Chain A
Amino acid sequence: MLVEKYANEVETILAKYPADQKRSAVMPLLYLAQREGGYVTRQDMEDIAQVLEITPTDVASIVGFYTLYYEEPGGKFRLQVCNDLPCALRGADEFLEKLCENLGIKVGQTTPDGTVTVEAVMCLAGCDKAPLFQVQSGDGLKYHENQTVESALGVIEELKTRGTQS
């Protein structure tokens, strides 16, 4: 169970909020739940609900609302390219298309070895350093700015070799 496994961290998280406002801890607890598998399981939602004294449906509604929580497993690493207007003006659309072409997948798909899921996401607040993407995995979230298809493929190779980004 999540709460037993990360007892200290759960306690630290809960201590940030007033004792009678435990529900506030739902977002950090969901991040904790995602740390290993990269997504939130039904069991995690039930565990979190129990700790916070809310219903699993309440927890699921949070998972569904916020884009950084996942209900389904994806690739080990989610490579997320921003292609909002400022990034698109600096070639993010072409970058995303060519990157996917090189990987032999479509946007939203995962490489056959299960390593990388490539997705398009909304603004990452790095407009001046486009094309850019973030890599999300259980062990963190990291920006890669001023990218080319070649440099991005290099990042992917390294992720594959190291198996971790932290």
Chain B
Amino acid sequence: MSEHILLRHRDIPDLNQLEVYRKHGGFEAFRKAVRSMKPGEVTDVVKASGLRGRGGAGFPTGMKWSFLPKDNPKPRYLCVNADESEPGTYKDRVIIERDPHRLIEAIVVSCHAIRSQTAYVYIRGEFHEGARTLEAALAEARAKGYVGKNILGTGIDVEIHVHRGAGSYECGEETALIESLEGKRGQPRIRPPFPAVVGLYGCPTIVNNVETLVCVPLILERGGEWFANYGTEKNGGPKLYSISGHVKRPGSYEAPMGKVTLRELIFGPGYAQGIREGHMLKAVVPGGSSTPVLTADEIDVRMDFDGVAKAGSMLGSAGAIVMDDSTCMVWMAKNLTAFYKHESCGKCSPCREGTGWMLRLLTRIEDGEAGEKDLDLLWKVTDSIAGKTVCPFGDAAVAPPQSTLKKFRDEFLYHVREKQCWRKVASTFAIATARAGSGVSA
């Protein structure tokens, strides 16, 4: 087990209180940034650190910041993406609820870097507890002069507002988040222009994920070089991993990015400690529900952006959903497709209609009411969504059906040939096929 950096609240009781936070070096990064660094220098250090966005895409944060126009007189905004809603992911929630002052310091420092005076934390509506914790921390920080006008006498003004979402996964997409914050339906905008140029209220805007932002004060404390070297090449810094599903000890874990493999996260003694008794690993969705599934023999991958990409999937939000041999992969694809159908914002026809079509097909397949041709049809529908929507939601929605069709085609064939789910006859697919004996898995 490596050092707790992002999860240091586990070693420091009451870290959510400002005094405790300060005793452990809180706001030192802020002091350093405003006393001895110009905004551009902070951005340079973040660039040098190689910090990549933790929301899923892995885009370099310093580069994103540098897209802000130099000569635009309009105010600039920082939007904190705390709309964590991807099945399998619960990393930002941990930070918000346990270490809220870290997020506040991160926001203030980042606002200094991008020369913004107003930040909105867009927190998903379900995180009522998190929103309350953050509001309480903000009140405390404001009262002590760490947030608001003329912070600690430095002449820097940063106001932070908490804005609760109301149950829409799509609002985690940065342009949909901006739309929602403007009081509209959470639907994405066509890019370009990118938010850095035309964002909230038509002003230059940076949208960063919670886990990404809390890396910023860390980079100032320990240096860009330290950060870049903590982890693997081009994948620097500490990383949170959420492990859920059929493991003995699900939860949030931290490691230097990529210094841990998916196998270690699932089976390692310091991590999820293996599959529940009496079962074997079957499949893993490695980085939140929208990342293609990996089979049991594809888990020797470095858990960083490039390592998982090499294996044909994505690190995404680093929320690994682990499934054992009792799991029907048709059911799994159907379950996740139901999520995407429910959450599709409705803007683009391929996604709005296609997700419903995929769900109907998968339901028929699972229920034994589909024929072999329906498998081709399902593929065709996925193909008609991917790459044909305004935002990446369409690509996300097809990942579960496409990857399961590719890697677990036998199970789909069983359903259409035997006209039922194998779980009705056996506890594992291997037993079910042996019993069927009809060359189902040919």
Q: Give chain A's interface residues, CB within 8 Å of chain B.
A: 16-18, 21-28, 30-31, 52, 54, 61-62, 65-69, 83-86, 88-90, 121-130, 134, 140-143
Contacts and interface: CB of A to CB of B under 8 A. Distances in A.
Interface residues of B, number: 52
B242 A127 contact: yes
Contacts of A85: 87-88, 245, 285, 289, 321, 332, 335-336, 339
Interface of B: 84-90, 93, 124-129, 161, 163-169, 180-186, 201, 242-246, 250-252, 285, 289, 319, 321-323, 327, 332, 335-336, 339, 342-343, 345
Given A21-B182, A61-B185, A67-B167, A125 B129 contact: no
A132 B251 CA distance: 14
A90 B88 CA distance: 12
Contacts of B180: 27
20 contacts: A16-B161, A16-B163, A21-B182, A54-B183, A62-B184, A68-B125, A84-B335, A84-B336, A85-B332, A85-B336, A89-B327, A123-B88, A123-B89, A123-B339, A125-B84, A125-B89, A128-B242, A129-B250, A140-B128, A141-B128
Contacts of A124: 126
B126 A68 contact: yes
Q: Which of B166, B332, B345 counts the most A-chain CB atoms under 10 A from its CB?
A: B166
B167 A26 contact: no
Nearest to B186: A65
Given A26-B183, A86-B321, A125-B93, 7 more contacts: A25-B183, A27-B163, A27-B165, A85-B335, A85-B339, A89-B246, A127-B321
A88 B89 CA distance: 15
A127 B126 CA distance: 14
Given A27-B180, A27-B183, A125-B89, A89 B323 contact: yes
A126 B90 contact: yes
Contacts of A28: 163-164
Contacts of B321: 85-86, 89, 127
Contacts, number: 139
Nearest to B326: A89
A66 B244 contact: no
Contact of B245 (A31, A86, A121): A86
Contacts of B336: 84-85
Nearest to B126: A124
Contacts of B327: 89
Contacts of A130: 244
Contacts of B246: 89
A135 B353 CA distance: 31
Given A28-B164, A124-B126, A125-B84, A88 B183 contact: no
B332 A128 contact: no
B166 A66 contact: yes
A16 B252 CA distance: 33
A143 B201 contact: no
Contacts of A31: 164, 166
A113 to B, nearest CB: 25
A142 B126 CA distance: 8
A125 B127 contact: yes
A142 B245 CA distance: 23
Contacts of B129: 142-143
B299 to A, nearest CB: 17
B245 A90 contact: yes
